[in-house]
Amino acid sequence: MITGTGITKTYKQRGDVLGSREVRALRGVDFAVPRGGAVSFIGESGCGKTTLGRIIAGLETHDSGEIVIDGTPMTPLSPRRRRPYFRRIQLIHQDPYSALNPTRTIHQTLRAPLELRARQTGRPGSWIDQRAGELLSLVGIDPGYVLGRYPHQLSGGMRQRVVIARALTVDPEMLVADESVSMIDVSMRLSILALLKDLRERLGVSLLFITHDIATARYIGDAGELYVLYRGQVVERGLTESVIHEPVHPYTQALLSAIPVLHGLERPGRERVVPTEALDERHADEGCLFARRCPFRTERCEKELPVLAGCQDSSHEHACFHPQRRAVIPVEAVA
């Protein structure tokens, strides 16, 4: 079980004539990924998804909050003592092209971490090549075909499978997949997603999926939870099917709509969700983070920040002063 409580992260960005500025990538994110569970984070570009994935995988530090892995809080531990915990969490990068060393064959790529694993677990040297073969078969590729090849000799889909096999060399408890299919051919995407689901079922690894695509989140996390992230804050969270079928936060509703228009409104004429580009986010830190784009905002929204809480009208949590089920035109309806 991996949990995070109140995770914050602020970056200092060097600016132009206006000087440097701070970007609050994460503003107190709470999450829980149960053993063998599936959790998806969804949100548009810049909402903090990648930052969160890297923090969870131990590749980035956070400013405040706590990550607890199997009951052990990480903050009091030295970086050296944290390492074995974070090794249980493997990040699968979105870009299989840059994730593999182009000068190494697939055999060399898998052999290095397996040698370490063999030493850690007291296994004989003969186990290493046998395990490399097993892992490649597990991810659906013929070891005989790929072991002697270099990454550039493989298709994008195969490369991504090798990246997944490499992640499995350390027997992880959780895979963090950051837009893992966005950079491979459309025809290959579904099979990689199916592979991740299959690995979850067969190996019992939990899956944290980070995406901007609602259809992907739905496919991967059908039996799990969906977190909707907006400007570093979780604005809606619950069972994936519940959030998708009965979203109550206007941002989730906009994400689910094929076009950013919400129907069934009490305030006709103001229904358009303002596109992000139209906003100067620097001065938008007061009140609800979504208020300036929201067709349902009231005075309260401009002054107070809503926090994540449950409500009578839905089975999941949201951070909104005016949560309401509203009809959404599903993405599939506009193909």
Ligand X SMILES: Nc1ncnc2c1ncn2[C@@H]1O[C@H](COP(=O)(O)OP(=O)(O)OP(=O)(O)O)[C@@H](O)[C@H]1O
3-state secondary structure of 46: coil
Q: Indicate whether 231 belongs to the interface with ligand X (CB under 6 A).
A: no
Least Cβ distance, residue 29 to ligand X (angstroms): 11
d(CA 82, CA 3): 15
Q: Indicate whether 45 belongs to the interface with ligand X (CB under 6 A).
A: yes
- The 10 Å CB-count burial string (b at 16+, else e) for 14-52 is eeeeeeeeebbbbbbbebebeebbbbbbbbeeebbbbbb
Site string for ligand X, 188-227 (x = CB under 6 A): ------------------------x---------------
Considering the complex, state which of residue 36 and residue 46 has its C-beta at the smaller distance from ligand X: 46
Q: Indicate whether 228 belongs to the interface with ligand X (CB under 6 A).
A: no
Quick check: 225 and 239 in contact, CB under 8 A?
yes
Least Cβ distance, residue 47 to ligand X (angstroms): 4
- Helix ranges (DSSP H) in the chain: 49-56, 79-86, 96-99, 106-121, 126-138, 143-146, 156-168, 186-203, 214-220, 240-245, 250-256, 299-303
Which span (43-51, 217-225, 243-251, 267-275) binds ligand X, by CB under 6 A? 43-51
Least Cβ distance, residue 313 to ligand X (angstroms): 28
Quick check: 182 and 98 in contact, CB under 8 A?
no
d(CA 84, CA 89): 9
3-state secondary structure of 215: helix
- Closest of 176, 249, 161 to residue 211, by C-alpha: 176
Q: Indicate whether 11 belongs to the interface with ligand X (CB under 6 A).
A: yes
Q: Indicate whether 133 belongs to the interface with ligand X (CB under 6 A).
A: no
Q: Indicate whether 25 belongs to the interface with ligand X (CB under 6 A).
A: yes
Q: Indicate whether 118 belongs to the interface with ligand X (CB under 6 A).
A: no
Name the DSSP letter for residue 138: H
Which span (39-47, 78-86, 120-128, 291-299) binds ligand X, by CB under 6 A? 39-47
Q: Is 269 left (phi over 0), alpha (psi -120 to 50) or beta?
A: left
The tokens for 72 are: 């052990």
Instruction: Give the residue, chosen from 40, 51, 109, 216, that forms a contact with ligand X under the rule CB under 6 A.
Output: 51
Considering the complex, state which of residue 25 and residue 193 has its C-beta at the smaller distance from ligand X: 25
Least Cβ distance, residue 12 to ligand X (angstroms): 7
Least Cβ distance, residue 232 to ligand X (angstroms): 7
Instruction: Give the residue, chosen from 29, 39, 40, 48, that forms a contact with ligand X under the rule CB under 6 A.
Output: 48
What percentage of the chain's residues is helix, strand, coil (to nearest 5)?
35, 20, 40
Considering the complex, state which of residue 51 and residue 169 has its C-beta at the smaller distance from ligand X: 51
Residues β-bridged to residue 209: 40, 177
Instruction: Give the residue, chosen from 2, 29, 37, 50, that forms a contact with ligand X under the rule CB under 6 A.
Output: 50
Which span (40-48, 194-202, 250-258, 266-274) binds ligand X, by CB under 6 A? 40-48
Considering the complex, state which of residue 132 and residue 319 has its C-beta at the smaller distance from ligand X: 319
What is the binding site for ligand X (CB under 6 A)? 11, 13, 23, 25, 43, 45-51, 212
